[in-house]
Amino acid sequence: MSGDYGRVAFIGLGVMGYPMAGHLAKQASAVTVFNRSSARASLWLEDYRESSAACATATSPKAAAKDADLVFVCVGNDDDVAQVVLGEEGALAGLSPGSLLIDHTTASQALAQKLGTACTAQSVGFLDAPVSGGQAGAENGALTVMTGGAKEDYKRAGPYFDCYAKKHALMGEIGAGQLTKMVNQICIAGVLQGLSEGVHFAQQAGLDVDAVIDVISQGAAQSWQMNNRANTMARDEYEFGFAVDWMRKDLGIALGTAKQVGARLPLTALVDQFYADVQNMDGGRWDTSSLLRRLK
């Protein structure tokens, strides 16, 4: 099937980008990767050297983007995206007219719009396309992609999204993908706080938490977080998925945007402060289900 796909570049090989780029290597004709830690890029190349794609590493985002039909970015925050895309050695400096830049980073709407404007000036397409599903979703090719941009660019990107996503959708113009991801994080924050309190109550009441979860997960209380995190929470294990530091970054973006659009997010603001408590417990790298720890 690789003949149906073009040459791609992937910038950012963290816990999400590493397997996403790997899925693309099974389909694209060529995949060139860049990571700020070159050792990580070398490891990726070793892991996927035998893929159907011609795989290579690059010394800069600009070099990675040269000759690429599509460039994917998945880094940490707004500043990281701006550096790897708009910097002197950034991807945009290497992209050719008619190519497409796709940013999978969870970032701000304002940055998405800035990138869109910069890409348009060089006749390059742009999609803001944050993802949900965590490391497991990336590894299993089961992510959800929320996309903002032009229909024709989304249609072009769709087959590539299919390599690592179970669901993707066009949510509106540039920036709409990031706004949708904010909704995603707002909902997750509230669910996790409720789940933490439920598990805490069950423990304090002397119930068998696993048995409780087995029962209530079949009813109206069911959620992805309950199915995938409640039992590990009960065992005080927090080495899974999405880190508290990154969640606070995302909630900060959502809370800032809420002020701009006139939305009221009292629960989100409260849970954000609860995550600050977890950070003060040296839990910044624990996953987001660690809200339970502050109740003990």
Strands (E), 104-251: 125-128, 131-132, 143-148, 165-172
| Half-sphere exposure (Cβ direction) of 212: Cα atoms closer than 13 Å | 17
Q: Residue 277 is encoded by which pair of tokens?
A: 């408590």
The catalytic residues are 181
| Residues whose CB falls within 8 Å of the CB of residue 9, separated by 6 or more in sequence, listed in order | 31, 32, 33, 34, 58, 61, 64, 65, 68, 70, 71, 72, 91
Residue 145 near residue 114, CB atoms below 8 Å: no
Distances (CA, A) of 65 to 38, 96, 119: 16, 9, 13
Strand pairing partners for 128? Answer: 103, 148
- 44 exposed, middle or buried (CB, 10 Å; 0-12, 13-18, 19+)? buried
Do residues 34 and 90 lie in contact, with contact meaning Cβ atoms separated by under 8 Å?
Answer: no
Residue of 289, 254, 253 lying closest to 274 (CA atoms): 289
